[in-house]
Amino acid sequence: MSKQRTFLRDVIIPTLPELFPTEESRAYAMKNPHIYNVEHLVEICLAKVGGYEFVDAEGYDFTDYSDSKTTSINEKTLVLTIGSVETKIGSLRICAYNPIADRIDFFYMTQRQLRATEVACWGKNSHKTRILARWSAGRDNYNSFEKFRVDSFETLAKKGTL
């Protein structure tokens, strides 16, 4: 599979059926997944399911001041990296493609948890921060990052809004 195809299959097509109303349109999307801006479509899906609006402002994506991050686990190192978190002012809604398990894992972090977890980047990007986590294939978990995992896209979208 691929990141784009998995997001289309598991999140975007089920959440936005109005964009893919026919079997032919869904088949076309799955055959040509790279033509879609998956990250933006995930933001639209989060807003739809979570009941807030997408605004794409400096430091946040949604009217509840949370931000969407879409990432992938590195197949060689099994490290998950979420970059450019230094400007985020609210919680993070993270969708992480796991190419080994061919699935998407979901994580929610409050602003306080984000600040406690972020680490500085190096070199010319030393003014930036990021979040790092390592996936353990044998245990199927993200070690200390596991506490941020939620069980579904719907839970991720609605977390913090209830």
Query: Which residues of the chain fall below pLDDT 70?
Result: 1, 161-162
pTM: 0.94
pLDDT for the residue 55:
96
- b/e map 99-109, b = 16+ CB within 10 Å: eeeeebbbbbb
Q: Which of 52, 44, 51, 127 is nearest to 83 (CA)?
A: 127
pLDDT for the residue 115:
92
Domains of the chain by start residue, with CATH: 3-158 (3.40.1350)
Mapping DSSP to helix (H, G, I), strand (E, B) and coil, where does residue 27 land? helix
pLDDT for the residue 121:
81
d(CA 77, CA 26): 33
| 106 φψ region: left (φ > 0), alpha (ψ -120 to 50), beta (else) | beta
DSSP H helical ranges for the chain? 3-7, 13-15, 23-31, 38-50, 111-117, 153-158
